[in-house]
Amino acid sequence: MSVINTNMSALIATNAIIANDRDQEIAMERLSTGLRINSSKDDAAGLAISSRMQAEVTGLNMATRNANDAVSMIETIEGSSREIASALQRMRELAVQAASDTYGVTDRAALDLEFGQLFLEMQRIATQTTWNEITVMDGDGVTTGAVESTSLTIQLGKAASQNMTLTIKSFDPRTTVKQSARMDVVNPATGAITAGNLATDSTPAAGNNGGTRLGIITNALGQDRFGNDNNNEKDTGTLNRRDAETQAYGAAVLYVANATDLLPAADVLLARIDIKSRGNADFALLNLDKAISAVSAERAKYGAYISRLEHAGDNLTNVARHQEQSRSRIADADYAVETSELSRTTIIAQASTAMLAQANAAKQTVLTLLQ
């Protein structure tokens, strides 16, 4: 049809150019960003799915970091507990030495000097070992009504419920108290035992003999294999269960009430065990054996924690990798496809432009009718 006002061929070519330009812009955008979905109009459902999967992937990656950080924290605690175990070994060696009557009062006093300093170092390690400003080895302190272990929650997944709880018992030796046990009180000048009521249950006379003032500690101390805890209490529900203990020394007694200490109802003056007499050394030797065994068991638990956390970290890494792979199929641009699309749209752009030129030129033939 020989009309001029409406050039249908040109309109068809123009529309083709517009549509092709849009496809070409999309291909160039995807090649520029590396993403198949750059806005919701590209793939509305895909955007929602990939965003949710991306949140899961970032959560899994952070959980992997949490697991690795927890391994480092437990390794720190285990290293400090190793020093406490070494101190206990040396204290036992000193107790064995002091238990022999080949040593006099002055010798035992010299041995007890190192023995006491090792006590202080155990206490210092327990109260001053920190991880990221968190004190991790002293439980809830020793001034409360009950010794508490430190509970640490490690987030190991994308959901709040996907976590792991680490229980770190108190390594403060002041939590290992037996209020009914009393040590021989030795006169440092003469070596005479002024009160020889070791480990009796009788109420001591009024008076003070030094030591550390602590709150009464109940329902939190370890039990021996007979079910007797450090306060001579029995509970068949926790008989021979180390996981019920809240301090790391098991049934060991490292703090006692001396023979001349006053035991009031709300507070008690306690002293560490010593090796100033042969009887005291024997008592210390018995309890140091218990302490070494319990600390070794606690350290073994840390090794189990580390093994579990390492496996958890490996599993999280595996899940995150495959989740990221799935998300990539939805959100990332396939360069083979997009480069082919760009080549196609470029060729069509050139062809459609040429056709538009032809459509415009075709109307020139109408002028011949006017000549």
Does pLDDT of 85 surpass 90? yes
- pLDDT recorded at residue 203: 40
Q: What is the pLDDT of residue 19?
A: 86
**Mean pLDDT (the chain, rounded):** 78
CA distance readout (Å), 76 to 81, 302, 303: 9, 10, 12
What do you get for the CA distance between the two ends of the chain, in Å? 19
What tokens were used for 138? Answer: 């002293």
For residue 92, give the CATH number of its domain. 1.20.1330.10
Q: Name the domain count of the chain.
A: 1
The reply to whether 185 falls in a domain is yes
147 occurs within a structural domain:
yes
Of 23-32, 76-85, 223-232, 272-281, the one with minimum mean pLDDT is 223-232
Domain span including residue 165: 54-320
272 against 224, higher pLDDT: 272
Say how far apart CA 83 and CA 233 lie, in whole Å.
31
Can you give the pLDDT at residue 1? 57
Q: What is the C-alpha radius of gyration for the chain, rounded to an integer number of angstroms?
A: 39
Specify the pLDDT at position 371.
Answer: 65
Q: Decide which of 214 and 314 is more confident.
A: 314
Can you say whether the dihedral through the CA atoms of 110, 112, 118, 124 is positive or negative? negative
Span 302-312, mean pLDDT?
93
Residue 128 has pLDDT above 70, yes or no: yes
Cβ-based neighbours of 368, under 8 Å, separated by 6 or more: none
Q: How confident is the model at residue 87 (pLDDT cuts 50, 70, 90)?
A: very high
Q: Give the model's pLDDT for residue 263.
A: 42
Say which range, 236-240, 249-253, 279-283, 321-325, has the weakest mean pLDDT.
Answer: 236-240
Neighbours of 268 (CB within 10 A): 20
Assess if residue 31 is contained within a domain: no
266 in any annotated domain = yes
| Residue 371 neighbours by CB distance under 10 Å | 4
b/e per residue 312-329 (b: at least 16 CB within 10 A)? bbebbeebbeebbeebee
Most confident range (mean pLDDT) of 118-132, 189-203, 223-237, 322-336 is: 118-132
- Least confident range from 155-159, 273-277, 283-287, 302-306: namely 155-159
Identify the pLDDT of residue 204: 40
Q: For residue 19, tell me if it sits in a domain.
A: no
- Identity of the residue numbered 164: M
Of 322, 21, 55, the C-alpha closest to 47 is 55
291 lies in a domain? yes
**Residue type at 175 in one-letter notation:** T
Q: Which residues have a Cβ under 8 Å from the Cβ of 6 and sit 6 or more positions away?
A: none
Instruction: Identify the pLDDT of residue 194.
Output: 65
pLDDT of the residue at 269: 55
- DSSP 8-state secondary structure symbol assigned to residue 142: S
Residue 179 has a pLDDT of 62
Q: What is the pTM of this model?
A: 0.72
Q: Using the CB atoms, write b or e for 139-172: b if 16+ within 10 Å.
A: bbebeeeebbbbebebbbbbeeeeebebebbbbb
Domain-located, residue 46: no
37 found inside a domain: no
| Segment 34-60 mean pLDDT | 84
Tell me the per-residue pLDDT of 11-24, one tens digit each, with 9 for 90 and over: 888 888 888 888 88
Q: Do residues 150 and 168 make contact, with C-beta atoms less than 8 angstroms apart?
A: yes
